[in-house]
Amino acid sequence: MTDNKKDKQIKLENETNWKSNNISSFNAKFKFEFIKELLSEIPENIREKYDLKDIIINNSGIRIQKGNIDSVYFACSTSTAEYTYTFKFKFKDFHYAKPKFVFSDIYIQRDQKLPTAEFRYDKNLNLNAIYLVRLPYFNSELPVIEGVSELHMLNVYNKFLEVHEQLEENEGLQAVQIMKNNEECINFYALGAYKKPLMWSRTEDKIKEITDNYSASKNDMIKQVIKITYNENQIIKEDVAYLFMN
């Protein structure tokens, strides 16, 4: 559990601050102590650079991949910063060590342009990915992003139009990853109502441990974000799901 020093450095004003904006896939929320413990693990260099003295969690979620917990996310704002941040904590589950969540990345939205560029940095503040979020506002007036060529951005936009045409009525594109590890890429993320993703029993046990009010049956239609790749004019829905918490 966290010590007093870290509690002062990263303060949650009260439990109501980290409830999401009512977009939950199921009626669950992360336990307050779990959130506080993870936020205290944000590296010192990141806390200092972005003046993270108080953090208000606006949304949170959990990534499920091939039946296992991959990571959890907290989308946050602070009382002093102009930016919005998302903190990612990877779940480490090895047979020879106690399972735990460790800080992995920070995502930063530096402005409110539509669509919005989001930059992902590792714990040493090395840039490792760039996204466009708020894709419903994507149009032919292509955003200019340092390090991303105009040709690639045009290719992203054309793929966006093609993928959009192939989605179901209840689906909508929310984000696209355009750079990863200094290489151009195109990976889309769609929001929709889908069946509960595959979860192994140990996965559900862990979710119940870190949340309150978790309840989801096999055939439930759950609001979630899924990862989509696009190849040879066909969309491929990968076995990756992001579930929203209350």
| pLDDT score recorded for residue 218 | 67
pLDDT of 82 reads: 74
Q: Which residue range forms the structural domain that includes residue 116?
A: 4-244
Of 17, 88, 90, 18, nearest to 46 by C-alpha is 88
Q: What is the pLDDT of residue 14?
A: 34
Q: What is the pLDDT of residues 213-238, one digit of tens each?
A: 887 776 677 888 999 998 888 899 88
Looking at the structure of the chain, the number of domains it has is: 1
pLDDT confidence band for 162 (50 / 70 / 90): very high
pLDDT in the model for residue 8 = 35
User: Confidence band (pLDDT; 50, 70, 90) for 1?
Assistant: very low
pLDDT at site 9: 38
Question: Residue 63: what residue type?
Answer: R
Question: pLDDT (tens digit, 9 = 90+) per residue, 30-57?
Answer: 999 999 999 999 999 999 898 887 788 8
